[in-house]
A and B are shown apart, each in its own frame.
Chain A
Amino acid sequence: MVLGGLLVYPVYQLGLISFLEYTQAQVSGGEPATFQGFGNYAELFGDGEFWRVLLATVVFAAACVVSTLAVGCALAVLLTRVRAVPRLALMLAALGAWATPAVTGSTVWLLLFDPDFGPVNRMLGLGDHSWTYGRYSAFLLVLLEVVWCSFPFVMVTVYAGIRAVPAEVLEAAALDGASQWRIWRSVLAPMLRPILVVVTIQSVIWDFKVFTQIYVMTGGGGIAGQNLVLNVYAYQKAFASSQYSLGSAIGVVMLLILLAVTLVYLRLLRRQGEEL
């Protein structure tokens, strides 16, 4: 009951506000709150920028999820292959990245890639190339940071999963002459499926909602708003310009998209006869 209340009530408020005209004037009592029906949604869907931002968010989140999973899984496999000391070092490095608060991490990455003082440009001999100026290079930079701070979760979880796989199975595969890649694809991945599902859904949700990295690294959405993603867009609408109802509408849309993605994914798995 308590759990339900804690979960349902905020969502209910979010939904309710998204149907009202609710700006600062309404909050502070300057004007009464009026019911708008789907007015906020109509405004949102009629705005070309929303669709542009939505597309960017989906593509960016997809790229982040794929990169995070690839890096995380590859390093998890690597962890099982190396000796204790390098393993410890890798673990500690990953945990360090994981433990770094997003704002700190973003600021440090930004500094590393700074056009005037950044060591990366100096090492690559790029002069004063600005990474945050171009749309794709800015997204790439943020993607690197997102992957950096979220791969440890994937790595640690998958590593634990691999450890739980009976050694005989792997040995048998190796004796049959299977390559590393073949072992991963035909033996490990199917056995780790439940773990990979959880990790993927987690990553989808995280990366779809990415806020801090974009907000900090591109200065609130990049040159002329080219690096906006949905969450930052919602923040700009709701809090920077006090259009709380429009921000809520974006929130509801995000909620529905994420629910749909998760449901479709679970349904697909079920079709294949896998029970979680």
Chain B
Amino acid sequence: MKLAPRLAVLLAAAVVAATACAPQTSDNSSSGKDEKSGTLRVWLFQEVNNKPKEKVVDAVLADFKKAHEDTKVTVEYIPVETRAQRIKAAFNDPKSAPDVIEFGNTDTAGYVKDGGLADLTEEFAAWDEAKDADPTARQSVTVDGKVYGAPYFVGVRALYYRTDVFDELGLKAPRTLDELAATAKQVHAAKPDLYGIAVGGAYTYGAMPFIWANGGELATGKGGSYASAIDSAAARKGIEAYTSLFGDGNCPAAKCAGMGGNDTVTAFASGKAAMAIGGDFSHQAVEAGKAKGKYAVVPLPGVKSGSIAPAFAGGNNVGVLKSTSHRTLAVDLMKRLASKKAQGELFDAMGFLPTFTDVRQQVAAKEPFVKPFVDTLAAGTKFVPASPAWATIDSSQVLPTMFQEVISGKKDVGAAAGDAARKMDDAFGSAG
């Protein structure tokens, strides 16, 4: 036992050394400074084909520099896949953080809770263009009645279908969700190597319209407190409708249960599916595949004939970081980036749908392809609960797990929805 005393000394020393260091917490309060010159740092997302976007942004920056001559702006395009880490790191280390960032609109509430985004309620109200922003886009930058940025573009999904397959089989584009299911089964029966409609157990945004169309909600509540509504009778009907598309009659569970949104679009683009729920942003991918020139798009139908299922309003926002030391300049740059003019140009360059209702009407007139998507937006869209808990619910795969449990037959709809509701309520509860 000669070692024991030495070990004890060592341990004691280690404990003394260690107690001095609690886990790190960065001081992310607003800097209080508002410098009128210097360098602004901007982080925007790197798109698959980024050049056209850079051109639009460069034009905005050129105007901005004319207005503020002694200000420099550096723009960095960050990869979408690693954005979560990058932006978390920026919140953790305000010194190396950017002043203006682009972010996915489902992340808004989480970033606000993290203490990263600046409250821009006054600036947004005073911005004359903001009154034309559509309500869902406005909702996607609003948390607890305060505004934390400007909507940059919206993304919305609709029903892609193969015109050649439909013509050959004498089918018409479905007008209700029931017809959609029937049509999908007819196609798969006639052409077993095609999925009638490609669906994915992990494709939450493709499944949500089924819940909403049946009158269900993900969660109900306002402001800080939400309660899950995923196990309500109406929502369960929607879950039933979506999960019934999995199976040997349409999209075999063994293959489709694990698919996400991109997988279903890929299946459609490569000619393996007669229908798919894809976004306006999926256009390029489909054009690049085998389905090119042999497809059309209609809004995803609702329960009643002629109605449109409420779609999820995805898209991105631009915001200002709380830690910025150039608040006025940063807000001005944000407004310019997300202005009507810039959004119109961004559509021409990238095909991203503008968040302003009037600009969107103009571009729809120019480009017939976006009409079904604009119609879907006009019919009313929905958004995920504006709660910081949503980030947790999303990343812990609550909804994909629920769908997959039903699809694989592990649980019935009631039990799976009940479990999902409990997990959501836990998350809403702990997010306070």
Contact A25 B396, beta carbon cutoff 8 Å = no
Per the 8 Å Cβ criterion, residues 377-432 of B in contact with A are 388, 391-392, 395-397, 400-402, 404-405, 407-408, 410
Task: Pick the most buried of B23, B26, B397, B402: most chain A CB atoms within 10 A of its CB.
Answer: B23
Q: Give the shortest distance, in Å, between A145 (CB) and chain B (any CB).
A: 18
**Set of chain A residues within 8 Å of B402, measured between Cβ atoms:** 224
What is the 8 Å Cβ interface bit string for chain A, positions 20-40, against chain B (1 contact, 0 not)? 101011111111110000000
Q: Is B114 an interface residue (CB 8 A)?
A: yes
Contact A28 B253, beta carbon cutoff 8 Å = no
Q: Specify the chain B residue showing the minimal Cβ separation from A245.
A: B23
Q: Is B224 an interface residue (CB 8 A)?
A: no
Contact B91 A224, beta carbon cutoff 8 Å = no
Contact among A30, A128, A241 with B396 in the assembled complex (CB-CB below 8 Å): A241
Contact A29 B396, beta carbon cutoff 8 Å = no
Q: Is B115 an interface residue (CB 8 A)?
A: yes
**Set of chain B residues within 8 Å of A237, measured between Cβ atoms:** 396
What is the 8 Å Cβ interface bit string for chain B, positions 244-280, against chain A (1 contact, 0 not)? 0000000011110110000000000000000000000
**Set of chain A residues within 8 Å of B408, measured between Cβ atoms:** 133, 223-224
Q: Give the shortest distance, in Å, between B112 (CB) and chain A (any CB).
A: 8
Contact among B13, B28, B201, B388 with A223 in the assembled complex (CB-CB below 8 Å): B201
**Set of chain B residues within 8 Å of A4, measured between Cβ atoms:** 10-11, 13-14
Contact B254 A240, beta carbon cutoff 8 Å = no
**Set of chain A residues within 8 Å of B10, measured between Cβ atoms:** 1, 4
Given contacts A9-B14, A133-B253, A240-B396, contact A27 B88 (CB under 8 A): yes
Contact among A1, A128, A219 with B13 in the assembled complex (CB-CB below 8 Å): A1
Q: Is B110 an interface residue (CB 8 A)?
A: yes
Q: Is A179 an interface residue (CB 8 A)?
A: no
Contact A30 B114, beta carbon cutoff 8 Å = yes
What is the 8 Å Cβ interface bit string for chain B, positions 20-51, against chain A (1 contact, 0 not)? 01111111110000000000000000000000
Q: Give the shortest distance, in Å, between A150 (CB) and chain B (any CB).
A: 26
Q: Is B3 an interface residue (CB 8 A)?
A: no
Contact A27 B26, beta carbon cutoff 8 Å = yes
**Set of chain B residues within 8 Å of A28, measured between Cβ atoms:** 26, 28, 88, 91-92, 114-116
Contact among B11, B116, B407 with A30 in the assembled complex (CB-CB below 8 Å): B116
Q: What is the number of contacts between chain A and chain B, taking CB atoms within 8 Å? A: 119
Q: Give the shortest distance, in Å, between A48 (CB) and chain B (any CB).
A: 10
Contact B254 A25, beta carbon cutoff 8 Å = no
Q: Is B1 an interface residue (CB 8 A)?
A: no
Given contacts A29-B115, A33-B25, A241-B395, contact A223 B91 (CB under 8 A): no
Contact among A8, A25, A224 with B410 in the assembled complex (CB-CB below 8 Å): A224
**Which stretch of A10-18, A82-90, A95-103, A154-162 is in the interface?**
A10-18
Q: Is B365 an interface residue (CB 8 A)?
A: no
Q: Give the shortest distance, in Å, between B131 (CB) and chain A (any CB).
A: 31
Task: Pick the most buried of A8, A17, A115, A129: most chain B CB atoms within 10 A of its CB.
Answer: A8
Chain A residues packing against B (C-beta within 8 Å): 1, 4-5, 8-9, 12-13, 16-17, 20, 22, 24-33, 115, 128-130, 132-133, 219-221, 223-226, 236-237, 240-243
Q: 24 A–B contact pairs at CB < 8 A?
A: A1-B13, A9-B18, A9-B21, A13-B18, A16-B23, A17-B23, A24-B110, A25-B114, A27-B92, A28-B92, A29-B26, A29-B27, A30-B116, A115-B254, A128-B254, A133-B254, A133-B257, A223-B257, A223-B258, A224-B201, A225-B397, A225-B401, A242-B88, A242-B391
